[in-house]
């Protein structure tokens, strides 16, 4: 399984937004620049995230995008499904045993996606940043 660039960029944008205080506004231009995501591509991604109920937009001065849901409630599976659909390694398999084995894999992967959130990624970033070497 390989994530699409849209799904990867969506996750990166959500992580960037999740790092900031709740209620912060994000302009498309600032997110594009800070996360090095092409502007036109990011516009499409943010619109999909908005239509998926994860963001809201505000027009005018001081406007931009805001997270609707806190980072600890946004699962990776929810985001990936918006862009890449559900994980199904062997859709419509005619072989019963293969279908059963890959069905188990599908359940495990989907559970992993449910168990991991945007907040988990932010926590990993922070733990890496806090590592210090004292001599």
- Cβ atoms of 123 and 18 within 8 Å: the answer is no
Residue at 134 is within a domain: no
Across-strand partners of 44?
Answer: none
Nearest CA to 123 out of 30, 19, 37, 38 is that of 19
Residue at 135 is within a domain: no
What's the structural domain count of the chain? 1
pLDDT at 43: 96
Across-strand partners of 65?
Answer: 26, 57
Does the reported pTM lie above 0.75? yes
Q: How many CB atoms lie within 10 A of CB 20?
A: 12
- Cβ atoms of 114 and 87 within 8 Å: the answer is no
| Domain range for 50 | 5-129
Q: What is the pLDDT of residues 39-74, one digit of tens each?
A: 999 999 999 999 999 999 988 887 899 999 999 999
Residue at 52 is within a domain: yes
């Amino acid at each position: 399984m390989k994530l699409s660039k849209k799904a990867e960029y969506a996750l990166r944008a959500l992580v960037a937004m999740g790092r900031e205080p709740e209620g912060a506004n994000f302009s498309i231009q600032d997110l594009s620049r800070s996360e090095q995501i092409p502007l036109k591509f990011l516009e499409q991604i943010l619109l999909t995230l908005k239509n998926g109920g994860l963001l809201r937009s505000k027009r005018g001065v001081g406007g931009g995008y805001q997270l609707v849901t806190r980072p600890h409630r946004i699962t990776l599976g929810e985001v990936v499904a918006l862009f890449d659909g559900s994980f199904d390694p062997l859709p419509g398999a005619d072989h019963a045993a293969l279908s059963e084995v890959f069905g188990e894999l599908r359940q495990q992967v989907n559970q992993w996606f449910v168990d991991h959130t945007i907040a988990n990624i932010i926590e990993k970033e922070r733990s890496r940043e806090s590592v210090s070497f004292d001599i």
